[in-house]
Structure 1
Amino acid sequence: MNRVYLVATAASNMEAKVQELVDAVTKAGLIATVYKPLEVFNAADSVAEIKAGKSAVLMEKICADFLKQDFDDVDAVVVEGATGMNDVIAHKFNDDLASALDAKIFADGEDAELFCPKRLLRCEKCVAGDLAAPAAERRVSQAMFRASLLSKASKCVKRIVLPEGSEPRTVQAACLAVERNIAVPVLIGKKADIEATAKSVGVKLPANIEIIEPSAELAEKYVPTLVELRKAKGMTPESARVALSDNVMLATMMLKFGEVDGLVSGAIHSTADTLRPALQIIRTAPGVKSVSSVFFMCMKDKTYIYGDCAINLNPLAEELADIALQCDDTAKAFGLPSRVAMLSYSTINSGKGPDADLVVAATAAAKAARPEMLIDGPLQYDAATVPSVGALKAPNSPVAGKATVFVFPDLSAGNIGYKAVQRSAHGTIAIGPMLQGLAKPVNDLSRGALVEDIVYTIALTAVQAQK
């Protein structure tokens, strides 16, 4: 299966339109099959669920049934849209089903370019041209990326330690992580406090949530290793015991020992409090010069990667090149296309000055380190994203006008940039920051994080731990 077509037309014309699409696929020498969701979930019951505000539940059930089908030997699946509904309900059914199928097919596949769904296809004359063309690159919508993230995390469930174990949002997120099968949460804190928090927020702790109570006895086993790691900085057994009285340091040592696979903190700790132990104990991965961060900027119809927006204040050219390489790795790890734009106020050679020169040098260093990577710079943001502007300002660029990964020149630009888009582009969700470059995954939360933010950060961390 490399094409999915959803037919949206009047019920009286549905059978004929579906057959026209099947005939078009067959005429192209390919194999088609038809999937009829309303033969599995009848129209009357579906209308009742939509009217009750349960469209998402209905679509989840339809998509689950769709993915159970054996489409391995067909080239195209024609999905029959709404029948037996009034026009308003039918429109909602078709639109919600298109979005849900997009998300679930993407999440279920290993390669985003395998599928080329046509949403709400009304004209069968488009099919011949579509079938003759190679499968188009998926535009990864917000729904697709979020579904994919949860799906990837659930394929190999990891143990993720949450040192702020009795914090209310953390407890709720841990319960949801178990419910969605994306991780085994390990909460650090007093069991009585965690249970009291769960009761206060109205959740029941699942049996497979682990609770570890901090104690002097537990910390003692980590003391020798911590002293060895930090002896150059004057660490003694006594100061190690003091350091291990902090739950974030304790959790970091658990990660160092391989007792957990990843760490998420920051709901009530500062970024410095979360990162300092990780930089001291976990340290960078082999060959990595510095730690950086990315945000996944999930817009309605696409997902971009922005880096670095949280860690490096004024990176040097070599450091900026390393950030670009890390961002490229992250895009590929999460199934996103990678075309890296090195951002600046200058496009290629249109502007002069030391800041533009730094981006020129960083781009050259990244190209030298990874010649196969699609990267270009300096590029202004409009030249990087708008095809007409890119063609005008950088006509020979492999990235201009179609960038998917954006490397900002410094922390001020990156932090302002992601927040401007997050707050001003309607419906945009920023997932992150996700840290890159550490030997093991550690991720920081905003202290204003919502429960869902924590759930997705747990999922990000679990996917990183699968590498």
Structure 2
Amino acid sequence: MNRVYLVAAAEAEMAARVEVVKGAVAMVGQKAAVYKPLAAVSAADAAEQIKAGADAALMEKICADFLKRDFDAVDVVIVEGAAGMSALVGQKFNEKLATALDAKIFANGEDADLFCHSRLLKCEKCLAADLAEPAAERKTSQAMFRAGLLVKASKAVKRIALPEGSEPRTVQAACLAVERKIATPVLIGKKAEIEATAKSVGVTLPAGIEIIEPSAELAEKYVPTLVELRKAKGMTPELARAALADNVMLATMMLKFGEVDGLVSGAIHSTADTLRPALQIIKTAPGVKSVSSVFFMCMPGQTYIYGDCAINLNPTAEELAGIAMQCDDTAKAFGLPSRVAMLSYSTINSGKGPDADLVKAATAMVKEARPEMLVDGPLQYDAATVPSVGSLKAPNSPVAGKATVFVFPDLSAGNIGYKAVQRSAQGTISIGPMLQGLAKPVNDLSRGALVEDIVYTIALTAVQAQ
């Protein structure tokens, strides 16, 4: 599938307009399929959700349904737009759906008057001209990325340990994970406390949730391995038993033993408390020297990757190069295009100083290690993202003006950068931090995480474990 066209037409004219698009696609020798989003959700329900401002959940539901269809054998997907809705509600539905599916809108006559943006094709001649052009790289919208996470996670359900088992948001997220079939949550904690929490937040624990109660007997089987792993640091059986009294350490040992496939913590623990046992026990993947993190910055029409915004304080050039390559791997693993911008206050040679030199050195290391990787730097943020600025400041760059992955030079810049975008760019949702470089997936939560944040982190972890 290279292109998606959304047909905006009155209900009585929809079939005829769809045939027009089919004919235009056939004229250029391509194959088309028709998708009806209102088969996944009724027009009445869709209209109510649009009116109520609940379009994000609506678009994710439609995107999930879209992803489950087999469109691999076709070149073009023709989407039937709003039908059975008032003009203004239908217009909003079509525009939201066009953004979610990265579709162009085909509309003419009075319908075209409702739309006035770059996605609009007003006539058959415009449609034919668009089909004659090479297909542009498809964008992964916020709705498509979030829906895709859940769809990917559901393909191979993994056991995800949640050591903060009686924490209210965690209990709610575990219930949703079972409901959406994205993981088997393993809540670690006292069963009575978990059940009391569930009752207090108004949820019923489904059969798909597992509860593991910590005990001295359970911990004892991990003691010899923990002692062996940490003996160089003075670990003794007594110290190991004390360490295993902490649920995060216990869950980490379960992950080490392969009894769970991933671990999510941080709702009531610091990043250090989540990460320390993982670094001590799970350790880094073969060939990886250090752990880093990424945030998936989901803007309405496109999803980007920001790294490292949570772990490495002042990375060396070698560490920064490693972060860039880990981010490249992550982009590809999650089906996102990878054009990596090594960010700085300088673009190429415009600025001088040790910080810019460090980024330049890191970029050179990446290019030497992975000649096929699309990476450039130093680049200022505007040169990395705005085509006109990129072509002016770095005319020969394969990344400038079209970066999709952003590597910040240090933790201050990264943390400030992602939070500024998260809080200031309307409609932006950040998912993360997701840890990169560990031998098995362990992910941290913000202590301010919402229930949905935890659900998507569980999904991320499940996908990493596949």
Deviation at 1:427, TM superposition (A): 1.3
SS in 1 for 2:287: coil
1:288 is the counterpart of 2:288: yes
Show the counterpart of 1:254. Answer: 254
Distance 1:313 1:142 in 2: 29
1:297 is the counterpart of 2:305: no
Distance 1:415 1:432 in 2: 12
Cα 1:62–1:419 change in 2 (3 A) is: closer
1:231 is the counterpart of 2:231: yes
1:28 is the counterpart of 2:28: yes
Deviation at 1:426, TM superposition (A): 1.1
Show the counterpart of 2:404. Answer: 404
Q: TM-score scaled by structure 2?
A: 0.90
Show the counterpart of 1:431. Answer: 431
Alignment of 1:350-429 (within 5 A): 350-429=350-429
Deviation per CA, 1:55-102, whole angstroms, max 9, x where unpaired?
Answer: 778777876776776656543333333344431232234234435555
Cα 1:396–1:456 change in 2 (3 A) is: same
Deviation per CA, 1:18-59, whole angstroms, max 9, x where unpaired?
Answer: 333222222223344545566898867866786788877877
Show the counterpart of 1:155. Answer: 155
1:336 is the counterpart of 2:298: no
Alignment of 1:156-235 (within 5 A): 156-235=156-235
Deviation at 1:350, TM superposition (A): 0.7
Name the aligned partner's letter for residue 134 of structure 2: P
Alignment of 1:85-104 (within 5 A): 85-99=85-99, 101=101
Deviation per CA, 1:241-261, whole angstroms, max 9, x where unpaired?
Answer: 000000000000000111101
Q: Is the 8 A contact 1:229 1:281 kept in 2?
A: yes
Distance 1:389 1:343 in 2: 15
Q: Is the 8 A contact 1:8 1:120 kept in 2?
A: no
SS in 1 for 2:208: coil
Distance 1:40 1:150 in 2: 16
Q: TM-score scaled by structure 1?
A: 0.90
Q: CA RMSD in A?
A: 2.6
SS in 2 for 1:296: strand
SS in 2 for 1:318: helix
Deviation at 1:424, TM superposition (A): 1.0
SS in 2 for 1:176: helix
| Contiguous gaps of at least 5 residues in structure 2 | 104-117
Q: Is the 8 A contact 1:5 1:119 kept in 2?
A: no
Q: Indicate the larger mover: 400-409 or 121-130.
A: 121-130
SS in 1 for 2:440: coil
Distance 1:169 1:94 in 2: 34
Deviation at 1:208, TM superposition (A): 1.4
Name the aligned partner's letter for residue 451 of structure 1: V
Show the counterpart of 1:115. Answer: none
Distance 1:45 1:307 in 2: 39
SS in 2 for 1:232: helix
Show the counterpart of 2:109. Answer: none
Q: Is the 8 A contact 2:295 2:431 kept in 1?
A: yes
SS in 1 for 2:300: coil
Deviation at 1:430, TM superposition (A): 1.2
1:442 is the counterpart of 2:446: no
Cα 1:199–1:134 change in 2 (3 A) is: same
| Contiguous gaps of at least 5 residues in structure 1 | 104-117
Name the aligned partner's letter for residue 443 of structure 1: N
Deviation at 1:136, TM superposition (A): 1.9
Alignment of 1:261-276 (within 5 A): 261-276=261-276
SS in 1 for 2:284: coil
Cα 1:51–1:324 change in 2 (3 A) is: closer
Deviation at 1:175, TM superposition (A): 0.4
Show the counterpart of 2:308. Answer: 308
Cα 1:60–1:371 change in 2 (3 A) is: closer
Q: Is the 8 A contact 1:9 1:122 kept in 2?
A: no
Distance 1:165 1:272 in 2: 19
Deviation per CA, 1:203-257, whole angstroms, max 9, x where unpaired?
Answer: 0101110000000000000000000000001000000000000000000000011
Q: Is the 8 A contact 2:344 2:359 kept in 1?
A: yes
SS in 1 for 2:172: helix
SS in 1 for 2:78: strand
SS in 1 for 2:312: coil
Q: Indicate the larger mover: 330-339 or 65-74.
A: 65-74
Cα 1:202–1:424 change in 2 (3 A) is: same
Q: Indicate the larger mover: 21-30 or 260-269.
A: 21-30
Deviation per CA, 1:180-206, whole angstroms, max 9, x where unpaired?
Answer: 111100000000100010000000101
1:240 is the counterpart of 2:240: yes
